[in-house]
Structure 1
Amino acid sequence: MSSVGPLTGRTIVVSRPLAQAAPLAEAIVAAGGTPLIFPLLEISPAADPQPLAEAAARLGDYALAVFISPNAADHALPVLLAQQAWPESLIPAAVGQGTVKLLAERGIHGCIAPTERFDSEALLELPEVAAERIKGKRVAIFRGDGGRELLADTLRERGATVDCITCYRRSGPSAGVAPLISAWRFGHLDALTVSSSEGLRYLVDLLDAEGRAFLQKTPLFVPHARIAENARALGLSNILLTEAADAGILAGLVAYNWPA
């Protein structure tokens, strides 16, 4: 049962992949709201396991291992650690603090990561990946299929040898959007939280004219300016840019001037 709080009476979609949805959903409940967990991305192992297996075999050759997301860590670490302990000389890096926490839970400490903005640009600003530190080093980037090439391209420009290892793949929601449409029709959907531009594109593509009209009127809380830009490019306008991560999204939800 929800407690009484600033989100009492509000149903809010949590669209993170299922494995990462619980913390935000629990925070919404603690604030009195009702979370509707509806992952916009489904995560599954990479179609080809060989690149990850090869990276595991030569793990000690790398100076830096970057995990793009918690999903990357979740899918890579069981393979990387199956035959050997984490090499002492290998510096772990992450884009977000959730990934740092996950690595620490697996016994991998000393992770470098941004502390304010959680994106490739912020990671590239860290002194440990400056050109004079990374030139001549071998870097592994563990990531999903597709995605941005900025990190890999920039590290190569700085003189590093970079291997990009796909360890999971993303797809849109296989169950369709009927739960969202039903909630909208009955007036039981007050806001969406969206942490992935790709997931938002899947949602827009899956919605018919009725669903897109509902989406256009629904507040969309996003934790990164790039997602907000992509939302506007998709024709959406009711966009609330929050601070980063779950804490930022929750703060934005609590501060919002909800209609009576």
Structure 2
Amino acid sequence: MAGRVLLTRPGERGEVLARTLERSGLVTAALDILRLEPLALSDSGRAALLDLDQFHGIIVVSPQAATCLAEAIASYWPQLPQGLRFYAVGEATAERLYTELGVPAVLPPRASGEHSEALLEVASLKAVAGKRLLLARGESGRELLPERLRERGADVEVLALYRRHYRAPSSPAKGWLEQGDFAALVVTSGEILQHLVTWCGPVALNQPLIVSSPRLATLAGTLGFGSLHVASGASPAALNAEIRAVLGPKGATFDQGDHGKG
């Protein structure tokens, strides 16, 4: 079924994305090339949590980081310290923070997208000289946030909460990538994109690639992808809108009940 849309987002968030696309009539297949594993806290991580009330703000880069952060905080603080300001890179992360900790989070400006560059445009993160900030993320990740915030005079501590485990696509997914046997590929992470390109044959490199930011589109171009399409963000709704705009009725399979809808 060449009309399948290949998804690379792991775990629960990948399932949410798949359900969103399937409700829209698209046929999806998860590549399952990435697993997220919680990490034991380092000595510096435990010290940061013990000093949580000394931080001016906590920046959380993903829903997984939000879940792990909430579990770690519960081990040290029966009640969350007052006055902490939380920042989230995207709406899914903000929703997870509210669900897990009951706190609102500052988001990037609505029209800016859901990525680190957009979060750095938040006014309160432009005036951080002398402030202590905690960055909750995975074991590895982009260094843009800590580097820029330190350049602005902040004292930034990185709290590594989970590890990414990459693996090769299983059969038949490996064949789909080798032969380009799919309608579109959806990628919202630079690390996933760099991992995945190894298995993409010439046809796959010229099938529609849906990404969530201009930065990822630039990276994809350097890796050899030739049909790049940038969604307005990383949310399921934004990705769904871009996929449908790219594919229309051609190349994807839609449910009968979807015909005639806008």
Same fold per superposition (TM over 0.5): yes
Distance 1:23 1:148, change over 3 A: same
Q: Report the counterpart of residue 35 of structure 1 in structure 2.
A: 28
Matches within 5 A, 1:87-106: 87-106=81-100
Q: Residues of 2 paired with 1:212 and 1:9: CA distance? A: 15
Distance 1:198 1:149, change over 3 A: same
Matches within 5 A, 1:18-167: 18-46=11-39, 49-84=42-77, 85-114=79-108, 115-116=110-111, 117-131=113-127, 134-167=128-161
8 Å CA contact retained: 2:114, 2:233: yes
Q: Percent identity, aligned pairs only?
A: 29
Q: Residues of 2 paired with 1:155 and 1:52: CA distance? A: 19
The answer for unaligned runs of 5 or more in structure 1 is 1-7
Aligned residues: 246
8 Å CA contact retained: 1:9, 1:32: no
The answer for unaligned runs of 5 or more in structure 2 is 252-262
232, 238, 255: which is aligned to 1:243?
232
Q: Residues of 2 paired with 1:184 and 1:159: CA distance? A: 45
202, 214, 234: which is aligned to 2:223?
234
Task: Tell me the CA shift for residue 187 of structure 1.
Answer: 8.0
When normalised by structure 1's length, the TM-score is 0.86
Which structure is higher in RCO with an 8 Å CA cutoff and minimum separation 6?
Answer: 2
When normalised by structure 2's length, the TM-score is 0.85
Task: Tell me the CA shift for residue 35 of structure 1.
Answer: 1.3
Tell me how large the CA RMSD over aligned residues is: 2.3
8 Å CA contact retained: 2:179, 2:201: no
Task: Tell me the CA shift for residue 9 of structure 1.
Answer: 8.2
Q: Residues of 2 paired with 1:25 and 1:52: CA distance? A: 34
Between stretches 118-127 and 60-69, larger displacement belongs to 118-127
Q: Residues of 1 paired with 2:137 and 2:243: CA distance? A: 30
